Amino acid sequence: MTGPSRRRRLAAAAVIALAAAAGSACSSSSGGSSGGDRAYLVWDPYPQFADDSAWVALLTRCGAAAGVTVERTGYDTTDLTNKALLAAQQGNAPDVLIVDNPVVSTLAEAGALTTTDENKLDVSGMATNLLGAGQREGKTYGVPIGANTLALYYNRDVLTAAGVDPAAITDWTSLNAALTKVKARGKKGITFSAIGTEEGSFQFLPWFWGAGAQLTTLDSPQATSALTLWTNWLRQGHAPNSVINNTQTTSWQEFATGGYAFAENGTWQLANAEKLDFAYGIIPIPASTGGPAPAPTGGEFVSIPVQQDTDRYGTSQRLVACLTSADNLLTTDTTLSYVAPVATVQERQVAADPKLKVWVEAVRTARGRTGDNLGTRYPRISEPLWTAVQAALSGAETPPEALAAAQATATTR
């Protein structure tokens, strides 16, 4: 994995690294610098966790179990991607790298990561749909540490006053009927994020996939039906015009006012949900014709970068195995508001907190954005998609026109 061809791949990957950003959320600062031969470097996207945090304590314990000292640095997600690519190019990558799942394909294509076949990491117990985000051309490049995704939060008081049973909302027809009843009672229907960034694509994907659309064909009838759904919500007054500029944070703030029936948002809002001044509940985002829609996965992968000194891989493998063991996953994913990537740990999470049941179900049907061998093509598809959503919601173009333009752009990239 050395030589000019790998350097060219790394340079090319750096060009698209900024585009491979997550739409979800966990991110987090403490630092570390390289030490002696027994110091193993870990880079992660959790700068919010300081040296006295449970996360750093876990890293320290895993290092002690492996007989080494762990030196950890937490970076912002985008900064981490660029630093990882540069470090790989310079031959001084960390021993363990924890990155947002859409970034894995970028680093893998650049030749910066070892495969699980090479590093002997056991992924047999991991959920296959979550592993997909870390796979490329049949090879797996890390272990998922956890996942978050999207669902619909609802205001129980608003729905009760409108005579809506949230359990009866199982498809788009029943959801639209609920929104109509809510509006008739003088309340607002649904808020979400349709901003012109990856967050907008992230929030649109459950409706896009829930209609049966595929990212390789942005202008399909199924894709048009999903964008028409959103566009109609604005025209009919079921969703506010502010969704065009909403982030997932600002749309949550709208929901928190108590005036909305629904908000599309993720597991990372659970702590905020407990602070609401009204009773809330959560249901899956419905697919067009019924059942839960596939939602995109957020969350990170723990990977082992390519090293010039291959003797270090054995210890790196022990560190990753420790971080992703069942007991440690339970602790870590509780801290990160993640659903575990292992079914048995998911069951333990639900037993400890029954509110997580709907999230576990959502994660089990979720998809990786870079899956289906899209890899580094995903950012080149996502940007035209969020541009189309913006154009349609603003009224600049009809949904068919906006998606036709998006497909044309994606095809030429």
State residue 17's pLDDT score: 46
Distance CA 281, CA 279 (A): 7
pLDDT (tens digit per residue) in 126-167 = 999 999 999 998 999 999 999 999 999 999 999 999 999 999
In the chain, the amino acid numbered 337 is S
DSSP conformation class of 298: B
188 and 227 co-located in one domain = yes
Q: What angle do CA 80, 83, 88 make, to 5 degrees?
A: 125
369 part of a folded domain: no
260 and 315 co-located in one domain = no
State residue 4's pLDDT score: 38
Token couple for 345: 């740990």
pLDDT (tens digit per residue) in 47-79 = 999 999 999 999 999 999 999 999 999 998 889
**Domain boundaries, position 67:** 4-147+297-364
Distances (CA, A) of 6 to 3, 13, 107, 109, 254: 6, 10, 11, 9, 47
Average pLDDT over the chain, rounded to an integer = 91
Distance CA 398, CA 411 (A): 20
91 and 165 co-located in one domain = no
Distances (CA, A) of 43 to 33, 81, 204, 248, 278: 10, 10, 31, 26, 40
142 and 183 co-located in one domain = no
323 and 338 co-located in one domain = yes
Give the global pTM: 0.86
223 part of a folded domain: yes
130 and 244 co-located in one domain = no
388 part of a folded domain: yes
In order, the DSSP letters of 102-161 are HHHHHHHHTT-B--HHHHT---TTS-HHHHGGGEETTEE--EE--BB-EEEEEEHHHHHH
360 part of a folded domain: yes
Number of domains forming the structure of the chain: 2
